[in-house]
Amino acid sequence: MSSSPMAIRPENSRPVPLRYRIAGVLGCVCALILLRFPVSVSLKLIRRLNGNTSREASVHEAARVVEAVRAVGRFFPGRFACLESALSSTLAALMLRRRVDWCVGARMMPYAARSWVEAAGEPIGEPEFSNHPYLVLVRT
């Protein structure tokens, strides 16, 4: 008889704090509303809000925000891909009075577009794409 692995939280991982979870929910709701408009509206809003937020998020804080947003995204019945996740994470971080960079990029061969967040110049929660790197087209 074989056993199947259980979904156990790693020992060094702690639950996401309540304030991050609340910011994640609110960030998702706001992002899904904003994405009904042209992306330029979202870019202008994020740039303005980033200008009013003085403290940049640490890599750890940004990872917690992304984790909280992705947990909310699992329950969303529609499309919740990289664009929705990255915009939601950016808005959630701003609600926590932290600033992250919202990045949109593309690559060739094979062609793909991607959206992600960065903190301290490091992509947060993203796989390594060393063989086909993304060219950043927009960074807020």
pLDDT of residue 78: 84
Q: Which two tokens stand for residue 74?
A: 């699992």
DSSP 51-108: HT--PBPPHHHHHHHHHHHHHHHTT-SS---HHHHHHHHHHHHHHTT-B-EEEEEEET
Q: Which of 135, 63, 125 is nearest to 103 (CA)?
A: 135
Rounded Cα gap, residues 86 and 67, in angstroms: 11
DSSP 35: T
pLDDT of residue 1: 46
The three-class DSSP label of residue 119 is: strand
pLDDT of residue 140: 87
Cβ-contact 43, 138 below 8 angstroms: yes
Calculate the alpha carbon distances from 46 to 76, 106, 109, 111 in Å: 23, 20, 30, 27
pLDDT of residue 132: 65
b/e 56-95 (16+ beta carbons within 10 angstroms → b): ebeeebbbbbbbbbbebbeeeeeebeebbbbbbbbbbbbb
- Taking only the tens of pLDDT, the chain with its 140 residues reads 444 444 444 445 678 889 999 999 999 999 999 999 999 999 999 999 988 888 999 999 999 999 999 999 998 888 899 999 999 999 999 999 999 999 999 988 888 889 999 998 889 988 776 666 888 899 98
